[in-house]
Structure 1
Amino acid sequence: MTYRRRMFLLVLLDSFIVLFAVALAAWVAGPGAGEGPEWLVAMNKEGAAFQGGFFVDAGTLYLFTPLLLLCHHLFFFRYKLYRKAWEYASIGELVMIAKAVGLSFATAGVIQWIVLQRLEPRFLFAAWVIHMLLIGGSRLIWRLIRGGFNRSGGRRKRTLIVGAGSAGTMLARQLMGNPDSELYPVGFVDDDPGKQQLDIMGIPVVGGMGQIAATAGELKIDNIVIAIPSLTKKQLYSIYTECARTRAKTQIIPMLEDLATGRISVTKFRDVQVEDLLGREPVELDIESISGYVTQKVVLVTGAGGSIGSEVCRQISRFLPEKLVLLGHGENSIYAIEMELKEMYRDSSIKFFTEIADLQDSEKMAAVMAAHRPHVVYHAAAHKHVPLMERNPEEAFKNNVLGTLNTARAASRAKVETFVMISTDKAVNPTSVMGATKRVAEMIIQHMDRISATTFVAVRFGNVLGSRGSVIPLFQKQIAKGGPVTVTHPDMVRYFMTIPEASRLVIQAGALARGGEIFVLDMGDPVNITELARNVITMSGYSVEEIGIEYTGIRPGEKLFEEMLKDSETAEQQVYPKIYIGKAEHIYFEEIERIIHEFPGMNSAELKVRLLDLANHVVPAESAKLATV
């Protein structure tokens, strides 16, 4: 129905209501019971009707009726009551109706008093009551006609709403009033005991969060929507764990800030993401300290085409560096991030440069650093796949150790101000070649900080959700093929963080750097990989029974659990919210140089043993004499 047609019908309806209210009030207030509206047919010569001891003047009716009709429409237009969508009406609209009707009667009554010098209070009160009942009733009927047919569930999916607060009730109202929505709410769950056992808009609040699984079975729920936008990550994880026990698909409404700004509607809910289930709040940035060392500076990122390196580039670009150099070995990934950034910041003054280079080429790295003279270097390039590096220890050594040394020395010669290297939790008490090479790379960074004017620091990550080679994309591919999902061991646990979090930590570390530190993020509690697999399966709309989980055994180089800091490294105080600094340990750079020198003649087995011994501080006596940071 068009707006003009809708307004015409409402004006016509209200006009009839005004006339009918006046006529019915005159009959109720004037004639005796059962004698009908005699004033319409039995006017005396003086133009008045008298019945039952109460006088209703015809002149009053002739003046008051058009006055009330005019005032009614004026005030309804004034308060935009003809623009209201009555299918979504609530108490607020009823208050506005009462206000407009009251002002209409008051205005018409005052004018009548001025003109005729008399009022009939009983008649006015009766007319006001009838007017309010008919206007309110007509809007209620309008709402029922427009929205009532949509209240039938039909073939729509039976939906349980978690949270019976303002967001939950708003969501329920919109779902019931939208015939195009495939979801139909049939129940709430809420931990507030004051709401349990009540009905909200005809929908029962059936219990608390602990009863989600039982309720979903009893009510045959197809979908669950978590409608509490202010949830912490820990609370969300707890609720989702309950939801995962059902066969229903679980979704969540947008964040509170998105709802408050009006950018996203309450019905634009999304699937629960794995990063929602880390059980902790994301790490934020100290914008002022970051802008101070990045804005209008030259920044170089190695491994800029990788999942971490590319996100570092995106985040750095927000701070408007003068120049951003994207360095990587794979031309396709470097081209992709270059095109993305140029499109995003085409109206900015940032200059983007690309360099295709191999970290193992020391001359090329020196030339790149000399050409661009960066103020800040983020070293994200590395080989990181544990089983692959176990089979190819030479490549891990060349890229992670020699590549880091070449890049660090080139940065030092180019007088770079700050150099941040990305490391891993696998560098702590390493059992794998990959972890050992990253621990050796940390030693190189700490050694370079001692002998160079450049500030060198390292940042340790846990597993990064969604990065290339991480477990989540593997699970998703296995689920897409119908399963099973493979997990190495039922007790395997890992620390997880998101790609944006990892990138923020890298950037923040540069702002906090004083030299030689190893920064570590407080990543909350480790996540059981089997539980993670279950969550990914249920988030994909399947049950664990449908897909299945298969245990394949621990792979070479893997540990059941990872550590972020060794006991000897642990520092008790946070240097920034959620960020710790590991205490410095022994650096055996002489042994590193010896391995580099002897590397060409080593076989894989010998190289692996030497690297693991060095990373775990089992070194020859002559190397052990070397300095301690």
Structure 2
Amino acid sequence: MSIESASYQNDQRTNIKGSQRIADYLLALSRSNKRAVLLLADFIMSVVCLYFAIAVRYGYLGNHISPVALCLYAVLPVIGLYAIGFYKGVARSFFDGVMGSVLQLFFVLIVIAQVVLYFHPVSGMPRAVPMLYLFLFFIWLWNSRLTIREILARLQGQRPQRRHMNDYDNVLIYGAGEAGKELLEGLRNSYKYHVVAYIDDDAQLTDAYILGKRIYNADVLVEIVSKLDIAQIFLAMPSISRVRKREIIDKLSDISIKIKELPSLAEIVDGKVTISSMRKIDILDVLDRQTVEPDARLLQKNITGKCVLVTGAGGSIGSELCRQVIKNEPNCLILYELSEFALYSIHQELIALQATHSRYQEIEIVAVIGNVTNEDNLLRIFKQYQIKTVYHAAAYKHVPLVEHNPFEGVINNTKGTYHCARAAIAANVETFVLISTDKAVRPTNVMGATKRLAELVCQGLSNTSGSTCISMVRFGNVLGSSGSVVPVFTKQIEAGRPITVTHPDVTRYFMTIPEASNLVIQAGAMATGGEVFVLNMGEPVKIVDLARRMIHLSGHDTKDAENPNGDIEIVFTGLRAGEKLYEELIIGEDNVEPTDHPLIMQAMEHSFPLDDIEAILFELNNRAKKHDVIWLKAQFKYFVVGYQEGSTSEVSKSKKILIENIG
């Protein structure tokens, strides 16, 4: 900490200690005592205002009216204020509407005074005095209440609620607009944060003040953070673009500081959050990725006015699909899920959403516990609710777990897809969309192989599907899903533990869950049957770089050889069973074509006759009883292009295929 910063902190502590005593005394008074103080002050000022009004009328100070009469006339407006309830709210609940009632009262008093003076002139009281007097008194009432409210708010907001001043985080609010002002109001009584100043891009606001907090120009951001010993920066700009947000973050790249942000305007409008809600910076903002506004026509095509079913409705992708589906107003939404708790959670969330949005209240939401391998149950549900669109998100997806439970993985992921798609065809479902993964491309693990087999199942069934349009959508990791690195890293950082990364060169594609879900819906709407759609995941991200950036955004330093005194260490644990260094989105280099959507491509993948796929599916249960893993992996090697058993520590970087012609 610099000498200037230390001096600033000492001054702050001295000011806060002194103001704390004043605030404690004022706030400790009973309500009746506070009211008595205000009544006395208003009466004294009423006498003063009346005296000056008379003096102004005569043009000089003098004794134009007796002191007793002066006090008698001056107390009348105070009695009127008491009668209309002006003193019930004391000072902190004062607002402009109250002064509207005062203005009406004073207008009535002026009319009465003019009538009385016209018919019964009062010695020493000119007719112009009541209007001038009440005008002066009104100014006093307005300004005194605003001043008292502001002083009390400041003093209370500055009171140290903790034992030491060091327990506070000095906060800099970036954005001096309405959101920034409201944020300061919300933080006044905070036990954790002490707002020091504002930063704003508008040069015209430089050196201005908001509620006593100085506004600095964005050009001196780094200097101010150091000078004022800022621990956190709050971005109070709900409409800020992702590009601008990344510029601000990059400007602070050499400083370990926590950055939080207000929610977006869209989320505020949707009622998800309030304007005073703060959250950690979206990790997507530090990734080189731009999003595209969804096509409303595609979003609504297979949903609006139809009955929709989502399998795996309680999972990360499934639950977000449910949220996206209900926004597009289907007739009914069926949640199909094996986990009772996951099903209960998403069902309650959607019911709560219905209660707060009138346009969703006519949608029938049904929670069904079921296994996707139970074709008879699926067929019954499809027919009972006349399902027109199915999003098949149910799957075991955690690579190490499926690697150690291969038959459970293939039965759920591949055979479950087969039974679900067959039931959809039998029930004349219009659209069936399989949620696939980039791990299905040249897989080195059982999970990826089972998902590629699931794609082959859908490709085979699409040729015999009749009126059912079957398609597949393949994408990479989604930020924030269960088991993904972001929530894992977040927990490790919060606990102060080392971040565990499998390999220094491991890379992954990333996308947010909401973006992935609405792209799935849009891709399904473009399908004609049998397509494998690939989402443009942007550039792959090095996991170790992601870890370093998350450490930085949490206000910590990375502990390594160059910085042995850092806070959080990154530990490399080695690739897990079946894990790849690099993920791919297509099997061949040139077998991808663009679509009408800039973020959705179509992969031209090889397929097998349905009979060949069905032959191994019918044999699965018998082989599972014997746990014949050798037979199972032999099928993977035959049907799944590029399947290679084990980790890809031996897979060279030269075999990595990127979709360089995408985007």
Does the pair score TM above 0.5? yes
Query: Given that residues 68 and 105 in structure 1 are in contact (C-alpha distance below 8 angstroms), is that contact kept between their aligned partners in structure 2?
Result: no
Q: 2:572 aligns with which of 546, 551, 557?
A: 551
Match of 1:55 in 2: none
Residue equivalent to 1:449: 462
Distance 1:96 1:141 in 2: 18
User: Secondary structure, in 3 states, of the residue corresponding to 1:448?
Assistant: helix
Which residue of structure 2 lines up, in the alignment, with residue 580 of structure 1? 600
Alignment of structure 1 residues 277-356 onto 2, 5 Å: 280=290, 286=296, 290=300, 293=303, 295=305, 297=307, 299-313=308-322, 316=325, 319=329, 321-322=331-332, 324=334, 326-328=336-338, 349-356=364-371
Displacement of 1:615 after TM fit? 7.5
Instruction: Give the 3-state SS of the residue equivalent to 2:203 in structure 1.
Output: coil
Alignment map for 1:469-618 (pairs within 5 Å): 469-479=483-493, 482-490=496-504, 492-537=506-551, 542-544=556-558, 545-553=566-574, 556-560=578-582, 562-563=584-585, 568-575=590-597, 579-589=599-609, 593=613, 596=616, 603=631, 606-613=634-641
Contact 2:257-2:554 within 8 A present in 1 as well: no
Q: Say which SS state the counterpart of residue 533 (structure 1) adopts.
A: helix
Q: Is the 8 A contact 2:388 2:429 kept in 1?
A: yes
- 1:199 is aligned to 2:209: yes
- 1:411 equivalent among 394, 414, 424: 424
Change (3 A) 1:191 1:469: same
Give the one of 437, 458, 461 matched to 2:472.
458
Residue of 420, 424, 427 corresponding to 2:440: 427
Partner of 1:49: none
- Structure 1 residue aligned with 2:279: 270
Structure 1 window deviating more from structure 2 (210-219 vs 564-573): it is: 564-573
Q: Could you say which residue in structure 2 is the equivalent of 1:620?
A: none
Q: Which residue of 2 aligns with 1:161?
A: 173
How far apart are residue 456 of structure 1 and its match?
0.2
Distance 1:69 1:477, change over 3 A: closer
After superposition, residues 107-126 of structure 1 pair within 5 angstroms as 107=111, 111=115, 114-115=118-119
Provide the C-alpha distance between the structure 2 equivalents of 1:537 and 1:345, rounded to a whole number of angstroms: 38
Please name the residue that 2:200 is paired with.
190
Does the 8 A contact of 1:72 with 1:101 survive in 2?
no
2:224 and 2:612 map into 1 onto residues whose CA distance is 62
The corresponding residue for 2:153 is 147
Stretch moving more, 506-515 or 261-270: 261-270
Q: Deviations over 1:491-516 (max 9, x none)?
A: 54433233344444444444444322
Cα deviation, residue 184, structure 1: 2.0
**How high is the TM-score relative to the length of structure 2?**
0.70
Distance 1:265-1:463 versus aligned 2 partners, 3 A rule: closer
3-state SS of 2:529 partner: coil
Deviations 1:201-250 (A, max 9, x none): 33222331x65444322211233222112223444444445567544443
Q: Deviations over 1:568-602 (max 9, x none)?
A: 34444434xx6524154443437954993999685
Preserved contact between residue 326 and residue 353 of structure 1 (Cα < 8 Å): yes
RMSD: 4.9
Select which of 144, 161, 169 maps to 1:138.
144
Contact 2:49 2:133 in 1 (8 A): yes
Q: Percent identity?
A: 32
Give unmatched runs, 5+ long, in structure 2.
1-28, 356-360, 559-565, 645-663
On the 8 A contact 2:533/2:603 being kept in 1, the answer is no
Residues 68-102 of structure 1, C-alpha deviation per residue, up to 9 Å, x if partnerless?
Answer: 87578769998x97677855889x79997997799
Task: Provide structure 1 residue ranges, at least 5 long, that are not aligned to the other structure.
Answer: 42-57, 617-629
CA 1:269–1:370: 2 relative to 1, 3 Å: closer
Structure 1-normalised TM-score?
0.73
Counterpart contact for 1:233–1:277, Cα < 8 Å: no
Structure 1 residues 236-255: aligned runs within 5 Å: 236-240=245-249, 246-255=255-264
